[in-house]
Amino acid sequence: MSYDLLIKNGTVVDGTGSPRRMADVAVKNGRIAEIGKLSGGADRVIDASGLIVAPGFVDPHTHYDAQICWDPQITSSSWHGVTSVVMGNCGVGLAPCRPQVHDIAAQDLVNVEGIPFEVLQRGITWDWESFPSYMEAAKRRGSAINLSFLAPLTPFRHYVMGEESMDRAATAQETQQIASLLREAVVAGALGFSHTTGVQHVGYKGRPLACRLADRNELGAYARILRELGKGVIEITLTQNFGHIQDHEIDLLKFLLDQSGRPVTWLAIFDREDQPQASAETLQRAQPLIERGGIPQMTCRPLIAEYELKSGLGFSMMKAWQPACGQPPEKLKQIYADPDFRRAVVEEMKRGVFRRNWDRVEICDAGKPEFKSLIGKTVGEVARERGRSGEEFEMVLDLAIQDDLNISLSQAIFNTNEQRLSKLINDPRPMIGLSDAGAHVNLLCDAGYCTYLLGHFVRELEAITLEYAVKRITSEPADFFGLRGRGRLVEGYAADIAIFDPNTVGSPRRGTMTNDLPGGGKRLIMPASGVIHTIVNGVMVYEDGRYTGATPGEVLRS
523: nearest Cα among 532, 539, 534, 512: 512
- Distance separating alpha carbons of residues 168 and 160, to the nearest angstrom: 13
pLDDT of residue 352: 56
pLDDT of residue 150: 98
Distances in whole angstroms, Cα of residue 260 to Cα of each of 140, 227, 512: 32, 5, 41
Tell me the pLDDT tens digit for each residue of 130-178.
999 999 999 999 999 999 999 999 999 999 999 999 999 999 999 999 9
pLDDT band at 310 (very low <50, low <70, confident <90, very high): confident
Distances in whole angstroms, Cα of residue 105 to Cα of each of 66, 93, 94, 100, 123: 11, 7, 6, 10, 14
Q: Report which residue type is found at 166.
A: M
Tell me the pLDDT tens digit for each residue of 178-207.
999 999 999 999 999 999 998 778 888 878
* Contact (CB, 8 A) for 174 and 221: no
pLDDT of residue 354: 52
Give the least confident one: 226-235, 253-262, 441-450: 441-450
pLDDT of residue 197: 93
Domains and CATH numbers, the chain: 57-302+415-476 (3.20.20.140), 305-413 (no CATH)
Helix (H/G/I), strand (E/B), else coil: 140: helix
Give the least confident one: 32-46, 125-139, 306-320: 306-320
What whole-number percentage of the chain has pLDDT above 90?
A: 81
pLDDT of residue 438: 95
pLDDT band at 355 (very low <50, low <70, confident <90, very high): low
Please provide the average confidence, as pLDDT, over all residues in the chain. 94
pLDDT of residue 90: 96
Asked if the model's pLDDT at residue 253 lies above 70, the reply is: yes
* For residues 461-472, average pLDDT: 98
β-strand 531-536 against 539-543: which pairing, if any? Answer: antiparallel
* For residues 385-402, average pLDDT: 94
pLDDT of residue 76: 97
* For residues 61-88, average pLDDT: 98
Tell me the pLDDT tens digit for each residue of 209-230.
999 999 999 999 999 999 999 9
* For residues 461-484, average pLDDT: 98
Burial zone of 9 (CB within 10 Å; 0-12 exposed, 13-18 middle, 19+ buried)? middle
pLDDT band at 350 (very low <50, low <70, confident <90, very high): confident
CA 61 vs. chain centroid, Å, equals 4
pLDDT of residue 493: 98
What whole-number percentage of the chain has pLDDT above 70?
A: 99
28 φ/ψ angles, rounded to the nearest 5 degrees: -145, 130
Sign of the CA dihedral running 34, 38, 44, 49: positive
Give the least confident one: 44-58, 84-98, 152-166, 338-352: 338-352
